[in-house]
Structure 1
């Protein structure tokens, strides 16, 4: 049973007549727990009795653990969670740049939703970054509940207050120069400008929806494999790209968050929905066949030396093809370079992936197949009941083929790169 003890104050090494009360109670392991500083015996006894009640109830937390600050626990959390390299780097960036400067030394039990919501509104970053920071804080706080440092996560399930005043209410400048995003014609023009080795990468992204890392990780053994599926009285057969791995470029971190430099690593796909076979339309199968015949490297979309593209090197190659460039005169040691008119300033590979999904919606690709092709996990119970059928697959391939040829006609092309005849046989 809880009780109270007197604690006499000491001044200059001599015990005085002044005292406070210390609460004493029995911990779950049978040892004695104490908490000093109470002005009266009754308050000390009540506090101790409350601890024993919580122990019997199973919701007691050791006061020493309640003193844990957010920063030290966040580092413990990061060291205990094994995630993909890019995910770890992104989490550390958010912690170091946004979260820890404010919450490093705040005790876990003192964090309230009001304070977090007020803080996130004051962050001078994009709203999506604010949401990611609050989400990461909530994940850490939930782990603190599971680890027995606090009894409840005050951030769980709460809806952030969004800033709708001043600059926040103004529309953001579009990333691309044209409203509505890229067209199939843009993908063809950029691919034609970049040449066959890089251009086929652009077209593959635009017409299959591969992620950037998935394209870099695509091995030639996984290109133009066959899908065989019973279809009516016969069999449906089509070429596919098998996506099983991807390259990820990120800053490596030690367990304590110390930066170790940037790396480019081959990893498994990000989730079970991303590991998939993507059906390839006939025109793209033809281009990939020619590319495989010419390309000497194992990775289908890489630099001329066989190394995976770094984002910086890719940008120096890809950006001028989209944004345009000035003419460069010939001089000693430097070759002449023709000027390029802009095709679509701001276009990037993510927008080309989005173009594929947009085209799928335009041609009426059914949901089971649209989610599969994009590498997305379809939400809800329907993903267990509805599966892509050969009719759905053929409808998608026919639609993509028609979109491509219509775009080719719109830009006045019948061949690409002056070397591959794409005309259909009569």
Structure 2
């Protein structure tokens, strides 16, 4: 061992005093001398230097200077090294900038401890949803794992820790009644929106497809055919294909090298392997889609009337008054008159319609392994390996969904969804 200690005299008013502390000196891997000041005794300084040299010889040494790097600086480095889907990147930056960095950006990586992080999380939970708080802490832990991998720190003090003592969630959640729509409600909303936009709503409710899956659906994947051997013949049904190669419509913000943001839309692969799938379409919906495609001049099935991809915010402006209701609007400059609309289901969202579909599957008794597949979810446990959907399961599901449509049409007294 070559580590040693040296005196460091304190200075007051530009003059050296008789008071001193000890500085540890040790040989770094590149042969240069490292130092660490501030030890009260010579022995402590020597022992600290010796521990550094042992760690160096065993290949587990972390430069103390690197552990003093600030969290905010490392966040930029860590985020630049990640390559998740664009929307995931956007969500991470939102968590970091809104909640994490205001508190932790100037904290040294080596100064983190679970006690302080958990106390901060409890305070954050007073104004943010529990899910947001957990997401923030999990993201911080992943970043600290990166710091360990980069050899900036030896351990991640957040790894494997569980948040406890969070206050009651302050975010009001929708009730089941506010989340799951009746079939009659979906059809009324579709009629109000008209055959172009209304079909989008019906398709989500009767297939459970995600927003980005339908917004990026190309017409060549809209009505394909499933064929499976069954009962001495072949079971067939129309399907919508979420194609791994075609992708789904991703919408998020991206940053240039200067940190400036811009909106971005493009087709990207589905979020995971289970999301790439064929979704069985009930007969009535297949007929509606076939009629729509016969008259629709654009390549993508669900777009604006001019064939442009939807922005989520623009669709929101279309859906909200249709679901929530609106006051009568007089004609104005370049704007036609609009009649008043009563509320059909206030607050309904496209995500609620996806929840609605999965709830309907449960209501009509769809086999869980098929229900998971159709929603693009992984069936849990070992049964996800051994169980597979069969043609009778598929027929039962399609008959159940068709029955929900036919019953709703009878209850409404309608012959067709759209008049005229």
Q: What's the TM-score, normalizing by structure 2? A: 0.92
Q: How many residues align?
A: 414
> Are 1:252 and 2:251 an aligned pair?
no
Worse overlay, 297-306 or 147-156: 147-156
**Corresponding residue for 2:6?**
6
The CA deviation at 1:17 is 6.6
Distance 1:360 1:36 in 2: 67
> Are 1:192 and 2:194 an aligned pair?
no
Contact map agreement 1:205 1:211 (CA 8 A) in 2: yes
Matches within 5 A, 1:339-350: 339-350=340-351
SS at match of 1:278: strand
Q: Against the structure 1 CA distance between its residues 347 and 17, is the aligned structure 2 distance closer, same or farther, given a 3 Å change threshold? A: closer
Matches within 5 A, 1:38-187: 38-123=39-124, 124-164=127-167, 168=168, 173=172, 175=174, 178-179=177-178, 181-187=180-186
The CA deviation at 1:19 is 5.1
Structure 1: segments with no counterpart, 5+ residues: 420-426
Q: Against the structure 1 CA distance between its residues 45 and 296, is the aligned structure 2 distance closer, same or farther, given a 3 Å change threshold? A: same
Distance 2:257 2:334 in 1: 48
SS at match of 2:60: coil
Distance 1:192 1:117 in 2: 50
Distance 1:3 1:238 in 2: 77
Matches within 5 A, 1:227-242: 227-242=226-241
**Corresponding residue for 1:423?**
none
Task: Give per-residue Cα distances to partners, 1:142-168, cap 9 Å, x unaligned.
Answer: 11111112222222222213533xxx4
**Corresponding residue for 1:424?**
none
Worse overlay, 384-393 or 289-298: 384-393
The CA deviation at 1:342 is 0.9
Distance 1:349 1:122 in 2: 32
Q: Against the structure 1 CA distance between its residues 179 and 88, is the aligned structure 2 distance closer, same or farther, given a 3 Å change threshold? A: closer
Task: Give per-residue Cα distances to partners, 1:187-216, cap 9 Å, x unaligned.
Answer: 111011111111111111001111111111
**Corresponding residue for 2:396?**
395
**Corresponding residue for 1:306?**
307
SS at match of 1:307: coil
Distance 1:324 1:52 in 2: 72
Q: Against the structure 1 CA distance between its residues 169 and 381, is the aligned structure 2 distance closer, same or farther, given a 3 Å change threshold? A: closer
SS at match of 1:416: coil
Distance 1:349 1:115 in 2: 39
Distance 2:176 2:270 in 1: 32
Worse overlay, 71-80 or 310-319: 310-319
Distance 2:182 2:207 in 1: 15
**Corresponding residue for 2:406?**
405
The CA deviation at 1:282 is 0.6
The CA deviation at 1:32 is 3.5
Q: Against the structure 1 CA distance between its residues 160 and 39, is the aligned structure 2 distance closer, same or farther, given a 3 Å change threshold? A: closer
The CA deviation at 1:362 is 1.0
**Corresponding residue for 2:218?**
219
Contact map agreement 1:2 1:23 (CA 8 A) in 2: no
The CA deviation at 1:133 is 0.9
Distance 1:22 1:174 in 2: 57
Q: Indicate the RMSD between aligned Cα atoms, in angstroms.
A: 2.3
